[in-house]
Amino acid sequence: MRVRRGRDRVRSPDLPADVEARHESALLRAWLWLFGDVREEIADLMSSMPLLRETRWECPNCPATHLTTAAEPHQPYHQCPGLHGILAPYVQAGTDCKVTATVREDYAGTETGLRYDGEGRPITSVVTTRADGSNDCAVFPGAATGSGSSTEG
């Protein structure tokens, strides 16, 4: 039996209104007896679940700051003037760490996709090292190119 609430309520034709009301009340009492009144628990759960979490970010090499409200894991980046304009990650505000750029130590030929800092040096990665020993690394690999012809001997 499907019961609607409000003005479009449909009553069963074979049950008087008072019997149907007692039936609904008995169903509600049975539900509360089996599962308890979960309305307060649901309200507590909903109030404790942040839909948007505010995260404050900062850069240890420059005065830049950033604020995000994304719920999923994320890592914002910026062109850091403290690292000569190279793309560097923000770190969560208050994190004891250092962010350093690693200069490429071998020859930079005709690869595409290399990143250069403001002084013209090729950068291969930016490493975030925290005081607890953990680290993160953003890598900027170069890609080799070819001419499309082959030499057979």
Whether pLDDT at 6 is above 60: no
84-94 tens-digit pLDDT: 999 999 999 99
Give the per-residue pLDDT at 16. 65
DSSP one-letter string for the chain: -----GGG----TTS-HHHHHHHHHHHHHHHHHHH---HHHHHHHHHHS-SS--EEEE-SSSS-EEEE--SS----EEEEGGGTTEEEE-EETT--EEEEEEEP-S---S-BS-EE-TTS-EEEEEEEEETTS-EEEEE---B----S-----
Instruction: Name the residue ranges covered by the structural domains of the chain.
Output: 13-48, 55-139
61-80 tens-digit pLDDT: 999 999 998 878 889 999 99
Q: Which structure tokens are listed for 139?
A: 């890598």
42-66 tens-digit pLDDT: 677 666 666 667 899 999 999 999 9
Whether pLDDT at 19 is above 80: no
Give the per-residue pLDDT at 153. 55
Query: Mean of the pLDDT values across residues 25-33?
Result: 73
Q: What is the pTM of this model?
A: 0.59
Whether pLDDT at 3 is above 80: no
Give the per-residue pLDDT at 84. 92
103-147 tens-digit pLDDT: 988 877 778 888 888 888 899 999 999 999 999 999 988 887 777
Cα–Cα distance for residue pair 80/102, rounded to 1 Å: 14
pLDDT range class, residue 98, cuts 50, 70, 90 = very high
